[in-house]
Amino acid sequence: MCLAKMRNAAPVIQQLDNPWLTSARVQVSVLRLDLMYPKLSGNKWYKLKYNLQQARTEGKSTLLTFGGAYSNHIYATAAAGKLYGFNTIGIIRGERPLALNPTLQFAEAQGMQLQFVSREDYRAKASAFFTEYLQQKFGSFYQLPEGGTNRLAVKGCSEILPTPLEYDIVCSSVGTGGTLAGLLVQLAGKKQLLGFPALKGGHFLYDEINQLTTDYNNQKYTNYQLITDYHFGGYAKANTELVDFINDFYQKYRIPLDPVYNGKLFYGLFDLIRQEYFPSGTRVLTIHTGGLQGIAGFNERYRNKKVRILEG
C-alpha cells in the first residue's frame, strides 16, 4: 500500500446511554479508535504513521522494534510492515516459549522475524553496545522504541482528537506517555486532559510526558492530571473485579475493552463519576485506544482459572 495515500479517517464517536450516567449528569462519549484500521487499531496507527514515512524517506526497508510477548506495539508493527512493504524484526523479552501466544503467532504470520532475548539483555536494549550488536546481526534498519513512543509518534497522536472539540474533558489511558503527549500538543493548553496510567507508581510519567512535549515543541503543559489509582496491581495485572467490569461494559454498550489499558481507564472513569469528581453537566470524551488483540492472550493465560473476557 502506498504511504502517500495514508490519511486519517474520521473515527466514530459513541455516546454512552445509561440512566445512571443521566442521573449523574455527566455525558460520556467514546472516541472509537478501536474500530479504525483493522490490525493497526487504536492509537497504533497514529504512533506509527510518521515513523513509517520517515523510514521510507531514509530508504530503510526493515523496521526493528522491541516488546513483551503480548505487546500491542509488536502486533501493530508486524501488521504495518506487511501492509506497507517493510521487513520487520521484533526483539522479544524472555525465552521463546514452546508454543507462541496469539500475539506472536500473528506477528510471525505477518512475516516478522522474532528474536527472543534474555530479560537481562532486554534491559540493555537502548545501549549503544546492544544497537551495535543488532546492526551486526540484522544490517541496516529503522528502529522504533518499545511501545513506539518517540517524537514522530507524538506528532501522529497530535491528530487524534476531532476538531472542533465539543467536550470539556478528554480521558485516555497511559503507558509510556506518548499518546498523552500528542493529545496535549493538539489541545495546546485548552480544555482538561485526564490520563489513567496502566502501571503502578505512574507519578513518574509527569516527567516523561513533560519531556516528550518539551522535545516536541518546547512546551510543558499544565492542563492535565494523571489518575494513578486504577492500575490493579501493576502493568498487565488484573483481577476478577476488572474482568467483571469489562464484561458488564461490553454487555451494556457493545464496546469491547482490553484488560491492560482501556478496561482500567473506563473502570477508573466510572469510579470518579460515582465519587462526583466531575461537576454536573461535564462532557467527557474518552479515547478507546484499542489493544483488543490482547484479549485472546489474556483468555488463554487465565483459561485454567475460568476467567474470560468477552471479545465482541
Ligand X SMILES: Cc1ncc(COP(=O)(O)O)c(C=O)c1O
The residues, any chain, with a CB within 8 Å of residue 241's CB and separated by 6 or more, are none
Q: Which of 11, 90, 259, 290 binds ligand X (CB under 6 A)?
A: 290
Segment interacting with ligand X, rule: CB under 6 A, options 50-58, 120-128, 172-180, 275-283: 172-180
Using rule CB under 6 A, residue 289 touches ligand X: yes
Report the chain's terminal Cα–Cα distance, integer Å. Answer: 28
Closest Cα to residue 290, out of 188, 193, 175, 209? 175
**Residue 4 or 220 having the CB closest to ligand X:** 220
Stretch 34-63: interaction string toward ligand X, x if CB under 6 A: --------xx--------------------
Using rule CB under 6 A, residue 256 touches ligand X: no
The C-alpha atoms of residue 77 and residue 55 are separated, in whole angstroms, by 13
**Residue 28 or 174 having the CB closest to ligand X:** 174
Least distance in Å: CB of 132 to ligand X? 27
CA 155 distance to own-chain centroid: 15
Residue type, 121: D
Using rule CB under 6 A, residue 174 touches ligand X: yes
Q: Which of 142, 196, 261, 278 binds ligand X (CB under 6 A)?
A: 261
**Residue 20 or 43 having the CB closest to ligand X:** 43
Q: Which of 67, 268, 291, 297 binds ligand X (CB under 6 A)?
A: 291
Residues from 140 through 169 that contact ligand X (CB under 6 A): 147, 149
The C-alpha atoms of residue 180 and residue 154 are separated, in whole angstroms, by 8
Using rule CB under 6 A, residue 186 touches ligand X: no
Using rule CB under 6 A, residue 103 touches ligand X: no
Residue type, 72: N
Using rule CB under 6 A, residue 67 touches ligand X: no
Using rule CB under 6 A, residue 28 touches ligand X: no
Q: Which residues in this chain contact ligand X in the complex, by CB under 6 A?
A: 42-43, 72-73, 147, 149, 173-180, 258, 261, 289-291
